[in-house]
Amino acid sequence: MDARAYRASLNDGRRVYARGERVTDLAAHPDFAPNIERTAEVYDRFEADPEAREAFFTPPTTIEGMRHHAALHVDSATHTTYSSLMTLLTAADRIAAVRPQAAEAVAAYVAMVRDKDLRIAECITDAKGDRSRPPSQQEDKDAYLRVVERRPDGVVIRGAKLHISLAASSHELMVIPTKAMKPGEEDYAIACAVPVNAPGVSIVNVLNAAPPEGSDPRDFPFANQRAVPQGFVIFDDVFVPHERIFLDGEVKQAAVFAHSLGLWVRTSSMISMCDGFDVMVGLAQLIAEANGLERVDHIRAKISEMIIHSTLLRATLEASMVHAAKLESGVLAPSEIYTNAGKYHGAANYMVMVRHLLDIAGGSAITAPSMRDLENEDIGHLVRKYMGTRQSIDGAYRTRLFHAVHDLTTSAHGGAKYAGLLMGGGGLYAQNIVTRMRYDIERAKRMAFDAMGWSPERD
């Protein structure tokens, strides 16, 4: 598809709600239009360069291929589609012994998505009801998405999935279990793909990171470009045919999909954080220079620490590729230990980066006049004068830098961005668990004894 075809494809009868009303034209609605345009731009880019599209959606089989893919810059919907496809391929590989038909179903689905040039949203987090109870013991059995009917040609599912990025503007919903399941919870062990416009699917949209309505885009440069709609997706007795089912009742394999998704989402998040950390370093240096403080020792020390965090994060991304694991299909999957350790490091230290950036910028990061104030005929010239620092640093230039710092750190977008990085692919504890699981603790213990020159077994 090109951009025009993508926009037209969204008028397929899907049920989307925003601000309490049914949305009839997604591309014209202010909550969706900016994001749809970003996706449309990538469609046109790939239409003009089919080789770039093929390279992006081809599963990597070499480390160089992984590096090349990590360096490609596309919109969130395209990135999410790639991580969805890789999740399915990884999970199918891991459950092949128990559900061999999954590999065939996944292969056919991946081919269909590629051929039709569709975009996928990842549906994992359930409503969960009473968090102290497992799925089978909930008062409302629909608190976790489940199969409510099995037919000769497929299943009927019911439930809801929360925090679903880009659900409204995608074509497909990849539905997977949110956690491990136990015997007796077979109905909850369901993984499948559902068209967004399938009967029974409704999406209630939230956009909590948008700039204030009517604001100047120059005052919110990041929110205007990167605010992502979030969907509350409801499955009200939705039929799913067998060919779109990847797991059905195999409770021991339910967690495989969540773990596979976690790997690819955390990898995608690391790639985003690597670029984001570099942007923050660049902003810190620019605002330090605009303030005339770039040579002050404590400013240089803060920027140096930001550079160290940025460099270590990119180093873990590189390590995750160098130590990639090869699947049976020949596809390379990033190393789980380096991916999880890197995602943890980035998310845990994000607020250190924010703290330094704000400390370097100063109070004007949250109190700078709007760009329209600088253009006011009565007072603008004075605002511009006092927002400057020296002849080479114009007040308008410095003000735009302050607005960029504010939008990235303390605006609604800044808060949502931090929450997204913290919880994307599971919170810090999830990365903590996987890193510990994949770390060779026995080797570390042996090394400790060797370093002491003592072994209890020989003593």
Asked whether 385 and 183 are in contact (CB, 8 A), the reply is no
CA dihedral over 8, 11, 16, 18, signed as positive or negative: positive
- CA atoms of 268 and 160, how far apart (whole Å): 25
What pTM, to 2 d.p., does this model score? Answer: 0.85
Distance (Å, whole) CA 335 – CA 341: 10
Running DSSP on this structure, what letter comes out for residue 327?
A: P
Tell me what pLDDT residue 205 has: 92
CATH code, 3-251? 2.40.110.10
| Domain spans, the chain | 3-251, 256-446
Which residues lie below 8 Å from residue 279, measured CB to CB, with a gap of 6+?
408
Q: What's the rounded Cα separation, in Å, for the pair 374 and 396?
A: 7
Look at residue 148 in the predicted model and tell me its pLDDT. 97
Burial class of residue 214 in the structure, from the number of CB atoms within 10 Å of its CB (0-12 exposed, 13-18 middle, 19+ buried)? exposed
- pLDDT one digit per residue (tens) for the chain, 459 residues: 999 999 999 999 999 999 999 999 999 998 898 899 999 999 999 999 998 888 888 888 999 988 888 888 888 899 899 999 999 999 998 898 899 898 899 999 999 999 999 999 999 999 999 989 999 999 999 999 999 999 999 999 999 999 999 999 999 999 999 988 999 999 999 999 999 999 999 999 987 777 777 788 888 887 777 778 889 999 999 999 999 999 999 999 999 988 888 888 888 889 989 999 999 999 999 999 999 999 999 999 999 999 999 999 999 999 999 999 988 878 888 999 999 999 999 999 999 999 999 999 999 999 999 999 999 999 999 999 999 998 889 999 999 999 999 999 998 888 888 888 888 777 888 889 889 999 999 999 999 989 999 988 776
Question: Coil, helix or strand for 379?
Answer: coil
Whole-angstrom CA distances from 106 to 87, 154, 243, 286 are 10, 16, 9, 47
Dihedral sign of CA atoms 182, 185, 186, 187 in order: negative
- Provide the residue type at 422 as one letter: L
Q: What is the pLDDT of residue 285?
A: 97
Query: Domain 256-446 adopts which CATH fold?
Result: Butyryl-CoA Dehydrogenase, subunit A; domain 3 (1.20.140)
Name residues whose C-beta falls within 8 Å of residue 176's C-beta, 6 or more positions apart in sequence: 87, 91, 122, 123, 124, 191, 247, 257, 258, 261
In sign, the C-alpha dihedral spanning 422, 433, 72, 4 is negative
* Residues linked to residue 147 through DSSP beta bridges, in sequence order: 157
DSSP 232: E
Two structure tokens written together for 25: 């034209």
- Would you state the structure tokens that stand for residue 261, as one six-digit string? 């998704």
**What was the pLDDT predicted at 117?**
95
pLDDT (0 to 100) of residue 399: 95
pLDDT of residue 65: 86
Q: What angle do CA 7, 198, 257 make, to 5 degrees?
A: 95
Region class of 140: left (phi > 0), else alpha (psi between -120 and 50), else beta: beta
Amino acid code (one letter) for 8: A
pLDDT, residue 292, reads 93
Task: Output the CA–CA distances (angstroms, integers) from residue 246 to 88, 125, 300, 381, 386, in the order listed.
Answer: 8, 18, 53, 64, 62
pLDDT at residue 387 in the model:
92
Residues near 243 by Cβ (< 8 Å), separated by ≥ 6? 105, 108, 109
- Pairing between strand 120-123 and 172-175? parallel
| Res 458: pLDDT | 74
What is the pLDDT, as a whole number, of residue 282?
97
pLDDT of the residue at 49: 93
User: For residues 146 and 340, what is the distance between their CA atoms, to the nearest angstrom?
Assistant: 29
